[in-house]
Chain A
Amino acid sequence: MWQQFLKHLKIYALLIKLNAMRQLEYRVNIVLGLLVEIGYLGVKLLYAYIIHDTGVHISGFAPQSLYLFIGTFILMTVFFVAMLQFNIMAFDRQIIEGEFDLILTKPVSAQFLATLKYVETWMVIPNVIVGLGLVGYGWYASGIAFDLLHVGLYLLYAVLGVLTMYCVFTLPLLLAFKLHNISAFHSLIWALWDFNNLPHRIFPSPIQIIGTVFFPIFLITNFSPLAIMGQLSLGEMIWGALAPLFLFLLTCWGWRRAISTYESGGG
């Protein structure tokens, strides 16, 4: 089990390297990709600007803490764009064109190869810089101690957030095995993702509960800032740790089932 994990980790490291090299072959694309990300970043920062401009406190959070949320959201977007976005877009094509057939004959997890093969590298740099900057400023300005406990807590919930993100967005991909065309679903993903632009406490409590418990997109970016601000109840802390693991097991189980009944496309 541990060995399998290490093997996949090593393959993923190589995949990152290969993708980085592949993208370097097209310099113009890197520049344009940066442009896209800066565009989206601008939309995200628009919220930060409005908050700064009006000095609003949202659900008791001062603007400084809100930067912590927006910064975390931008950093999570890095993972979303780098790890998931292109795999999601290429996924149904993989099934239709039979590339998935080849993946099945490889001695690695088919789920791993099919969902994590593409990695976007250079394009996310502006997000990394701006996200780190915002989180750093928010952290400092909110007067949160910068010690092992808080950094550890932040990182722990960030990792769990990435895990949740992976599950929330790859679980619906299983529909592609049945429907073959899931393009309508893509636009929903984008929209849902933007829900994390502001702390989830801004929403009425039914939405908060749905987004935390039933379709846990709020676990992705909200829990790490909330944790270091001491704003998570014990119950939330436990749920925030258990739910991602449970979700991950569910995702793997779903994949195993889908793959075992998979019928290749072309005759």
Chain B
Amino acid sequence: MNVIEVEGLSKTFKFYRKPQGLSASFKNLWQRQVEFKEAVKDVSFNIERGQVVAFLGTNGAGKTTTMKMLSGILHPTTGKVKVLGHTPSDREDQFKKRFSILMGQKHQLWPDLPAIDSFALCQRIYEIPTPLFRQRLSRLSEVLGVSHLLDIQVRRLSLGERMKMELIAALLHGPELLFLDEPTIGLDFLSQRAVMRFLQQLVKEDNLTILLTSHNMADISALCERVLVIQNGQLIFDDCIANLQDSLGGLRRIHIESESALRSELLSRYGKVISNEVHRAELEVNDGVANEVLQQLLKDIMVKDVRITAPPLEDSLERLYQRQGQVA
């Protein structure tokens, strides 16, 4: 069953230019040069229940705009959106009670009060019955390991603890769908992992559907099976992560360790040298020839250790963006 259905979604923003100087400001009072920016162009995709999908793209690519349209904050210019069977821009209470949105930089907890008091407000707003509220709160705070912090002023908590509290606030009403906009921004890697592990558990136990944007590739490879890549407002990739690498003509990285010194001129005959630290080097070759190259290498050089890996996700993405840039 599809939780999110998006078809031909577009969003155009109006904006003005104002050249430097005061006189231009006055001119702008009566006459404005209106320009349009297509933040999202003809995007279509479906997401099934229980899926965890990453939304990738550079700054300003249109990720957040799309997410805002899916959560009803923005109205689409054209196109059809159905989320949990509702049209988000109708902003029905019944719809709002079934999802949650968490934005990394925007906080809903009151900084001057302990988190537990803000949770009480959530309870009232979402009309959560008290027994259910208590049960969810104790479960969530236990899993996240913050039960002992509930009565401390939020402003006194560390960033990671605060984010965990925000997560609890977003999950108290038992949403079926969770939008996460850069949830781990500014967190140290231990907190990042804790949050990600928690989300994984939720997906498994509650059959939660998650759509997340992040610049952190570790988040994504840990949590998501599927990525949507958006650039200049257009959806340029929609598949599982492994296929992202294959679709780019499948590159492989060969890591070599050797007792003797490795020379880049020599190595470049086999493939593109990514790095060479005298006794340790990394080569990039096409998937199809990886085995051949490896055998040749083993024959030619005194190799102590050798590994073949896929290139990091960042590299694949960079190539994807570059390729798209050339097309456009």
A residues contacting B by CB (< 8 A) are 7, 10-11, 14-15, 18, 21-22, 25-26, 97-99, 101-102, 104-108, 260-261, 263-264, 266-267
Contact = CB atoms under 8 A, between A and B. Distances in A.
A10 B130 CA distance: 14
7 contacts: A11-B121, A18-B117, A101-B73, A104-B91, A105-B72, A105-B101, A106-B96
Interface in B17-69: 39, 60, 64-65, 68
Contacts of B101: 102, 105
For the complex of A and B, 5 pairs with smallest distance between CB atoms: A107-B93, A107-B96, A22-B112, A11-B124, A101-B73
Interface of B: 13, 39, 60, 64-65, 68, 71-75, 91, 93-94, 96-97, 99-101, 103, 106, 108, 110, 112-113, 117-118, 120-121, 124-127, 153
B91 A7 contact: no
A105 B124 contact: no
B315 to A, nearest CB: 26
A30 to B, nearest CB: 13
A33 to B, nearest CB: 14
Contacts, number: 72
A264 B124 contact: no
Given A11-B124, A25-B112, A105-B96, A267 B64 contact: yes
Contacts of A18: 110, 113, 117-118, 120-121
A267 B124 contact: no
Given A21-B117, A105-B101, A264 B74 contact: yes
A264 B117 contact: no
Contact of B121 (A14, A98, A104, A267): A14
B68 A7 contact: no
Contacts of B94: 107
A102 B121 contact: no
A102 B74 contact: no
Contacts of B121: 11, 14-15, 18
Contact of B71 (A21, A105, A266): A105
A108 B65 contact: no
B56 to A, nearest CB: 16
A267 B65 contact: yes
Contacts of A102: 101, 103, 106, 108
Contact of A10 (B13, B71, B93, B124): B124
